[in-house]
Amino acid sequence: MISKKMEEALNKQLNAELFSSYLYLAMAAYLEDLNLNGMASWMRLQSQEEYEHGLKFYEYIGSVGKRVKLEALETPQFEWKNPQEAFEAALAHEKKITKNIYDLSDLAVDEKDHATRNFLNWFVDEQVEEVASVTVIVEKFKMVSDSKNSLYLLDKELGKRGQK
């Protein structure tokens, strides 16, 4: 049995994951508009992953006998100064999500809710991976600075995500 407070916190995180999906889709549209289709494709895959994260919360809330409560999603940002800034914003967002997950885990520990803490462990690991992968991309942007050739190559590289 999970507490009302935990139920609300899990629903809030479900919203945050769906917002992440929405935000990355907005970034994909921005990158597509710049004809950076490889980067846009990376963001679309990221958006899909976030939707799946949202579904994990959806399923967990149901599995502990609680009801999912969907709330309105915030309007995501529409414009960025350049692609690097969009990826930097994605990194900052992932760090914020990591903090949310840690706060949720802390709450689960405080409430001796071991099932929820166990459920959240997957997200703790996932956040390490997500922050690491976006950090690598941001570092690559810093290396290539404003060179158009390098941007083209980075676009190509990111477009390979999800391909065999």
Q: Which long-range contacts (CB under 8 A, 24 or more apart) does 92-100 make?
A: 93/20, 93/23, 94/127, 94/130, 94/131, 94/134, 95/131, 97/16, 97/17, 97/20, 97/127, 97/130, 98/127, 98/131, 100/13, 100/16
- 53 vs 151 by CB, closer to ligand FEO: 53
In angstroms, what is the minimal distance from the CB of 94 to ligand FEO? Answer: 5
Closest CB to ligand FEO among residues 7, 50: 50
Q: Which residue is nearest to ligand FEO (CB)?
A: 53
CA distance 34 to 55: 31
Under the criterion CB under 6 A, does residue 50 sit at the interface with ligand FEO? yes
Closest CA to 64 of 114, 139, 125, 134: 114
Instruction: Classify each residue of 45-82 as buried b or exposed e, where b means 16 or more C-beta atoms within 10 Å of its C-beta.
Output: ebbebbbebbebbbebbeeeebeeeeeeeeebeeebee
Q: Using the rule CB under 6 A, which residue among 88, 113, 130, 155 binds ligand FEO?
A: 130
Among 94, 104, 120, 151, binds ligand FEO (CB under 6 A): 94
Which residue's CB is nearer to ligand FEO, number 101 or number 154? 101
Residue 105 touching ligand FEO (CB under 6 A): no
88 binds ligand FEO (CB under 6 A): no
Of 94 and 155, nearer to ligand FEO (C-beta) is 94
Residues that bind ligand FEO (CB under 6 A): 17, 20, 50, 53, 94, 97, 130
